[in-house]
């Protein structure tokens, strides 16, 4: 497994579940990956939202990408864990707004973040009870 395989899988299946911690309570919500490259996995949120505060208070996350196969033999997930890094980069924000113009009205409260380093692995139904044996890629 390579980092490029992780980038490709996430890009092909950008709707994902992102888990944070709120005190001692896990919180999971659906996110849409904006982009992924050798510098990380990029997302956006809005700073009035609870998820923004959760990420600021504890930047550790786990994200699950799924290929949405109805045939369980072909179903595959990629789990990615790491720490969020908020980005104050006007050029990146401009690119995000060009790619996703529906966010234009939210620009004043828009926050861009990425998971730059961490660990990822793929899981299929064939891997039940083998999670500790699955190859990981560090990035």
pLDDT tens string 47-81: 999 999 999 999 999 999 999 888 888 899 999 99
pLDDT tens string 30-51: 999 999 999 999 999 999 999 9
Measured at the CA of 113, the angle between CA 31 and CA 14, to 5 degrees, comes to: 30
Domains of the chain: 3-138 (2.30.110.10)
Q: Residue 54: helix, strand or coil by DSSP?
A: helix
- Ordered DSSP codes for 80-93: EEEEEEEE--HHHH
pLDDT of residue 115: 99
- Rounded CA-CA distance 47/108 in Å is 9
Measured at the CA of 95, the angle between CA 112 and CA 89, to 5 degrees, comes to: 45
């Amino acid at each position: 497994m390579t980092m490029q395989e992780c980038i490709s899988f996430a890009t092909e299946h950008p709707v994902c579940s992102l888990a944070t911690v709120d005190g001692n309570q896990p919180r999971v919500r659906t996110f849409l990956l904006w982009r992924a490259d050798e510098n990380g996995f990029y997302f956006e949120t809005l700073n009035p939202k609870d998820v923004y505060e959760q990420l600021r208070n504890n930047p550790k996350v786990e994200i699950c990408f799924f290929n949405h196969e109805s045939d369980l033999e072909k179903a595959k997930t990629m789990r990615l864990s790491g720490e969020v890094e908020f980005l104050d980069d006007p050029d990146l924000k401009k690119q995000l707004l060009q790619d996703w113009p529906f966010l234009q009205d939210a620009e004043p409260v828009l926050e861009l973040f990425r998971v730059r380093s961490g660990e990822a692995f793929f899981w299929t139904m064939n891997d039940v009870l083998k999670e500790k044996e699955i190859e990981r890629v560090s990035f």
